[in-house]
Chains A and B, each alone.
Chain A
Amino acid sequence: MKVSDLSVARGGVPVLSGVSFALEAGEALVLRGPNGAGKTTLLRCIAGLQAPLTGQIEGAEDRVAYAAHADGLKSMLTVRENLSFWAQVFGNVNIAQALDGYALRPLADRLAGTLSAGQKRRLGLARLLVTGRPIWVLDEPTVSLDADAVALFGSALLGHLTAGGSALMATHIDLGVDARVLDISTYRAAPDADLGASDAAFL
């Protein structure tokens, strides 16, 4: 996947401009930057949930598995039902690996609504394994995970990378995986930048 000269806006105001990087197979890239720098906006853009102002994103379409703050779980479905729904949507049937990878098998027949926050998060991350997509785009994946669960995520990520997948993450903690770091605060859009954001026409 390759991103070149990307500018993104939040609420009609440009936040980042000139973002360029490449993500090779088997590589992990961690986005760093203070709160409000535009990490989430950038990730949403790459996941195809919002359009960039300028620039190109190549090789991301239909290859991204996205996970953000909300896990997309239905509390009245069991863990197994939640996972197999997403597996079927992405054209897979096998959820065994995902259940094992995040130690969810003992919880498989519990309703997702009865899980703790950390368990829900594990289920949300297990969803990535059933999508079968090569590029993981993750926004703060380790929120509410304990040390053991972070280790589970770390090994799942390592497995994904060794299998030729790649990952783009906004996270602040060390996952025990070799990852390049991209500090996005250097791409902060100048206050008077005219990048075709919707409010520019009025200035």
Chain B
Amino acid sequence: MKALLLRDLRLALRAGGGFGLGLAFFLTVTMLVPFSVGPEATLLKAIAPGVLWLGALLACLLSLDRLLALDLEDGSLELLLTAPLPLEGALAIKALAHWLTTGLPLVLAAPFLGVMLQLAAPGHLWLLASLALGTPALSVIGMFGAALTVGIKRGGLLLSLLVLPLYIPTLIFGAEVARRGSAGLDASTPLLMLAGLTLAVVALMPFAAAAVLRMGLR
């Protein structure tokens, strides 16, 4: 298990691993928002929580099709199936590696981008909290989508089509936390909902992902 986590982290950090691409994408999308809606500070302030959440979500989505496809290409996915690791555990670990290399950098970068979008001061903490709680769910749900489409040639677009509707509850609760927080309202209800959702998804989705992966590779 540990070996798998270390391998995936090492691969992500080496050349061609795609580490930082999601972060750069997040930065670019956030920068494009003022270009498209105008530089007016009050408008940016109002939409900042939602824009940052959407940007983070899309940045997560970007790297999902590499999650299992590369392992399938070089044959290591099949070898993992014959290894004495439970597939559920292996997929959970791979999702964790994805979160550490994609989700976590986004969480840490979000407050800085929040400053650029005039996010209200109390909003930064809530944004950080909501992304930290929500992005693990994005990685695990994404793992399910990746497992569902792994055997499909050019499955990248299909993966987005399948995964985006599954992201809706996480996005709604997560962005609601950031929005209420930055407006100075009580955000504890959506925060608890988000936490509950993430816990449930992290607990259950690896099983669904392993089930569809076994079906798809048979």
Residue numbers of A with Cβ under 8 A of B are: 47-51, 62, 64-66, 68-77, 81, 84-86, 88-91, 127
Residues of chain B within 8 A of A51, CB atoms compared: 218
Residue B17 interfacial (CB < 8 Å):
yes
Inter-subunit contact B84/A69 (CB<8 Å): no
Shortest Cβ distance from B4 into A: residue: A89
Inter-subunit contact A76/B17 (CB<8 Å): yes
Among A70, A71, A76, contact of B14 (Cβ-Cβ < 8 Å): A76
Among A72, A75, A89, contact of B78 (Cβ-Cβ < 8 Å): A72
Inter-subunit contact A70/B3 (CB<8 Å): no
Residues of chain B within 8 A of A127, CB atoms compared: 79
Q: A49-B82, A85-B3, A89-B3 are in contact. Are A74 and B218 (CB under 8 A)?
A: no
Residues of chain B within 8 A of A62, CB atoms compared: 84
Please, could you name 14 A-B residue pairs with CB atoms under 8 Å apart, sorted by A? A47-B82, A49-B78, A70-B74, A70-B76, A70-B78, A71-B74, A72-B74, A72-B75, A72-B76, A81-B10, A85-B7, A86-B79, A88-B3, A89-B80
Inter-subunit contact A49/B218 (CB<8 Å): yes
User: Which A-B residue pairs are the 4 nearest by beta carbons?
Assistant: A70-B75, A88-B3, A72-B76, A72-B79
Report the minimal beta-carbon distance from A166 to chain B, rounded to whole angstroms.
16
Inter-subunit contact A74/B78 (CB<8 Å): no
Bound CA span A90–B4, Å: 11
Residues of chain B within 8 A of A65, CB atoms compared: 82
Report the minimal beta-carbon distance from A48 to chain B, rounded to whole angstroms.
6
Bound CA span A74–B79, Å: 13
Inter-subunit contact A74/B76 (CB<8 Å): yes
Residue B161 interfacial (CB < 8 Å):
no
Bound CA span A47–B79, Å: 10
Residues of chain B within 8 A of A90, CB atoms compared: 83-84
Inter-subunit contact B14/A89 (CB<8 Å): no
Residues of chain A within 8 A of B41, CB atoms compared: none
Residues of chain B within 8 A of A76, CB atoms compared: 11, 14-17
Given contacts A49-B217, A70-B75, A86-B79, 6 further A-B contacts (CB under 8 A): A66-B82, A70-B74, A71-B75, A73-B76, A76-B14, A76-B17
